[in-house]
Amino acid sequence: MKIAVLPGDGIGPEIVAEAVNVLNALGESFTLEEAPVGGAGYEAQGHPLPDSTLALAKAADAILFGAVGDWKYDSLERALRPEQAILGLRKHLQLFANFRPAILYKELAGASSLKPEIVSGLDILIVRELNGDIYFGQPRGVREAPDGPFAGAREGFDTMRYSVPEVQRIAHVAFQAAQKRSRKLTSVDKSNVLETSQLWRDTMIDVSKQYPDVELSHMYVDNAAMQLVKAPKSFDVVVTGNMFGDILSDQAAMLTGSIGMLPSASLDKANKGLYEPSHGSAPDIAGKGIANPLATILSAAMMLRYSLGKTEQADRIETAVKKVLAQGLRTPDIWEAGTQKVGTREMGAAVVAAL
């Protein structure tokens, strides 16, 4: 099995190094091959997603990705900015299904901003469509407003689009994920206002007939935002479009206290995937050796589970992470009084030792 390792920028190389150590400690015969991406790709080959990096990603069975981006590239034209690398990979590899689990480990209960009784034991999964919606819909642009009370003024416009097959493929992924959990699926839309959402909802209902064992419910996105902070444990699997999912998955992430704990997976229709922490390149702490590597290590566990068919090894990593937290080891982002503050390398080494 071939894993493409793309560390990227900022804390990316630091946290990916720890995840690679964990993978190597499993005793499996993976081939790990590394390539530059993001700002590192730009420095090495003049492009955030060099052809050779894209070719490696395409040839691999799975991709372990760190993070991209740095303020020093802010003045580059949009096409050369580091962030284009991740958008390019999602698009070229048709990674349309984004899995973002939000789990509150009991050892970190004090890290959430919500009351313990609201969040303790939280374990929900947000499935976000990643290839469509207003981020990619054409036409878009800036023009002179053709009509309305502001006719003649400069206006920006974007188009929200979803087709039935596009909604069907994410629906199947979400129903199958719900089948593996508590068989409850909430589809989030804004069908009281938007045509795309009405079509989304009708399609979800249609696909649900193939999954009679899953209980499908619907919620408007504004209510979903409220319920996520009021009663987050009332959800199990949530499926939604690209833009609503972008916002709700960040909101759900913060229920668990630190972005440094949250893995993610982006899958294509054959379950090939890109695995990365939910956070960015954290240039404010890069090079200091204090970044939390657990989100990346847990992303490697998701990779074993979803793309490489190694469920047992995935369980081993997740158990090792819980063990290290139970031992009281904490990077600064999750530190609280009475626990032991450690750096990136010590945290990674502790997970390897726990394995």
Interface positions, 66-105, toward ligand NAI (CB under 6 A):
67-70, 83, 86
Report d(CA 321, CA 292) in Å as an integer: 12
CB of 250 to Mg ion, least distance (A): 5
Q: Among 118-126, 143-151, 218-226, 280-288, which window interacts with ligand NAI (CB under 6 A)? A: 280-288
Q: Is 123 annotated as a binding residue?
A: no
292 is in an annotated binding site: yes
| Distance of closest approach, residue 111 Cβ to ligand NAI, in angstroms | 12
Q: Is 147 labelled as part of a ligand binding site?
A: no
Out of 224, 280, 314, 325, point to the residue binding ligand NAI (CB under 6 A): 280
Count residues binding ligand NAI (CB under 6 A). Answer: 22
How is the beta sheet containing 31-34 ordered, strand by strand? 31-34, 2-8, 62-67, 273-277, 263-267, 97-103, 123-129, 237-240, 184-189, 215-220
263 binds, among ligand NAI, Mg ion, none (CB under 5 to 8 A by kind): none
Q: How far apart are CA 256 and CA 268, in angstroms?
A: 27
| Nearest Cα residue to 257 out of 290, 232, 275, 283 | 232
Residue 70 or 189 with smaller CB distance to ligand NAI: 70
Pick the binder of ligand NAI from 108, 174, 285, 314 (CB under 6 A).
Answer: 285
Catalytic option among 202, 206, 222, 315 = 222
238 binds, among ligand NAI, Mg ion, none (CB under 5 to 8 A by kind): none
Q: Which residue in 248, 229, 227 sits closest to 239, CA to CA? A: 248
| Half-sphere exposure (Cβ direction) of 193: Cα atoms closer than 13 Å | 7
The answer to whether the CB of 278 falls within 8 A of the CB of 100 is yes
Tell me whether residue 199 or residue 282 sits nearer to ligand NAI (CB atom).
282
CB atoms within 10 A of CB 106: 11
- How many other C-beta atoms can be found within 10 angstroms of the C-beta atom of residue 202? 13
User: Is 250 designated active site?
Assistant: yes
Does 285 show up as a binding residue in the annotation? yes
Active-site residue, from 61, 91, 135, 323: 135
The Cα 28–Cα 95 span in angstroms is: 26
Asked if 73 is an active-site residue, the reply is no
- To the query of whether residue 211 is one of the catalytic residues in this protein, the response is no
Q: Nearest approach, Cβ of 9 to ligand NAI (angstroms)?
A: 8
Active site residue 2: no
SS3 content of the chain, % helix, strand, coil (to 5): 45, 20, 35
Instruction: Say which amino acid occupies 152.
Output: G
Verify binding: residue 214, ligand NAI, rule CB under 6 A: no
Active-site option among 123, 246, 322, 341 = 246
Question: From the list ligand NAI, Mg ion, none, which binds 246 (C-beta under 5 to 8 Å, kind-based)?
Answer: Mg ion
Q: Write the CB contacts of 183 (distance below 8 Å, at least 6 apart in sequence).
A: 213, 214, 215, 236
Distance between CA atoms of residues 204 and 284, nearest Å = 42
5 binds ligand NAI (CB under 6 A): no
61 annotated active-site: no
Cβ closer to Mg ion: 45 or 251?
A: 251
Taking a C-beta distance cutoff of 8 angstroms, is the pair 107, 322 a contact?
yes
**Binding site per annotation, positions for Mg(2+):** 222, 246, 250
**Binding site per annotation, positions:** 90, 100, 128, 222, 246, 250, 280-292
Residue ranges binding ligand NAI (CB under 6 A)? 11, 15, 67-70, 83, 86, 259-260, 276, 279-285, 291-292, 295, 333
**Binding site per annotation, positions for substrate:** 90, 100, 128, 222
Residues marked active site are found at 135, 190, 222, 246, 250
